[in-house]
Amino acid sequence: MLSAVELKEQVKAMGADLVGVAAADAPLLQEHGEEPAKLLPGARSLVSIGVALNKTAVCSGNMLLNRYDSMCVYERINQISLETTRLLAKEGAKAVGIPPYLPVDMGAETKGMQGEINHKTVAAIAGLGGIGLNRLLVSPDFGPFVRLGTIVTDASLQADQTLNENPCDQCESCRAACPVEAIGEGGDLDYRACASHAVRSGLPNVIAAMRKLPGVDDKAIKGIVFNPDFWDVWQATVSGVFYNCSECMAACPVGSD
């Protein structure tokens, strides 16, 4: 089996800018309610992957350039995640990649606001950075200009140490810049205010547009657009993945584990 050092070297060779390892039973994961074993029974390690955003694109003021950069970065994370799980499989380990963006649970409880695991928490435990006042991961080399992915595996890998000092110095620049005042004085984040503004071109705007259709009954439309099934249809449209069953494949005994 590859050592953690060897694995991280290969993951960086795939195009990752940051790679770290967290133990699946790390106390901080438990404190945050993360349960890797639910995603992969027998999980022992989590591999955190970071790919840097283009700071020039993010700060350009041009949202088309900004979005395109994020698209490219997420595509790279997806590819690295796929290749890393295959690499671990060749070494005899089981591994699953956790979506860095979509798909997520669109059920009534989470409403698309919570993924299968908190990538920022895993990255912080794996020593890739600290959680900033804006609730983003802030890395020493890239600041908050980084997107994250996570791989859960039953491979026993040497965990990295968390950083001794948080790169975020609580300067409150992010708080002053927030257009919807989602970042509170004490560092609390109004996630709904943030999401409603940051992703307004996504599902929030779809819902708003449908409710403005002429001649529609608002109560009836509300019953449709706030239904988790509708949200899942939107998610499938955006991500391009709409399969809802794979039982025949899962039942087939042919092929490697």
What pLDDT, on a 0 to 100 scale, did the predictor assign at position 256?
58
Single out the residue of 78, 19, 88, 14 nearest to residue 50, CA to CA: 19
* Residue 191 token pair: 């996630």
* Residue 155 token pair: 């491979």
- Residue 133 carries which DSSP code? T
Helix, strand and coil percent figures for the chain, each rounded to 5: 40, 15, 45
The predicted model scores a pTM of 0.89
Single out the residue of 1, 86, 81 nearest to residue 46, CA to CA: 81
The whole-angstrom separation of Cα 254 and Cα 188 is 50
**Single-letter amino acid code for the residue at 209:** A
Percent of the chain beyond pLDDT 70? Answer: 98
What pLDDT, on a 0 to 100 scale, did the predictor assign at position 89?
97
Please name each of the domains of the chain with its CATH number: 4-167 (3.40.109)
Sign, CA torsion 161/100/192/224: negative
User: How much is the mean pLDDT over the chain?
Assistant: 91
